[in-house]
Amino acid sequence: MTSRLRRIAAVCAAIMALSLPQFASAQEFSAPQKGEIERIVRDYLIANPDVLQEAMAELEKRQTAAEADKQKAGVRQHAELLFNSPRQVVLGNPKGDVTFVEFFDYNCGYCKRAMEDMMVLMKSDPKLRIVLKEFPVLGPGSVEAAQVGVAVHMQDKTGKKYLEFHQKLLSGRGQVNRASSLATAKEIGLNMAQLEKDLNSPQVKATLEESYMLAQALGLNGTPSYVIGENVVIGAVGLPALQESINVARCGKPTC
CATH at 216: 3.40.30.10
Q: Is residue 247 part of a domain?
A: yes
| Domain final position from 57, 72, 87 | 72
162 vs 152: CA distance, rounded Å: 6
* Contact predicate 106/144, CB 8 Å: no
Q: Which of 72, 103, 133 delimits the end of a domain?
A: 72
Tens digit of each residue's pLDDT (9 = 90 or more) over 9-53: 555 555 555 444 444 444 466 777 777 777 777 777 777 777 677
The reply to whether 40 falls in a domain is: yes
**Residues constituting the chain:** 256
Whether residue 155 sits in one domain with residue 59: no
172 shares a domain with 53: no
Assess whether 151 and 220 both reside in one domain.
Answer: yes
Q: Please give the average pLDDT of every successive group of 10 residues along the chain, which has 256 residues.
A: 51 51 53 77 76 70 68 86 93 95 95 93 96 96 96 90 95 91 95 94 95 93 92 93 95 90
Indicate whether 256 belongs to any domain.
no
- Do both 154 and 188 map to the same domain? yes
Domain termination site, one of 72, 94, 124 = 72
The residue range of the domain holding 26 is: 3-72
Residues 58 and 104 in one domain: no
Helices assigned H by DSSP within the chain? 3-19, 21-24, 31-47, 49-77, 79-84, 109-124, 140-155, 160-171, 178-187, 192-199, 202-218, 239-251
Considering the domain architecture, whether residues 113 and 37 belong to the same structural domain is answered as no
Task: Note whether 26 and 37 are within 8 A (CB).
Answer: no
Q: Is residue 60 located within the same domain as residue 95?
A: no
- Please indicate, yes or no, if residue 239 is contained in any of the structural domains: yes
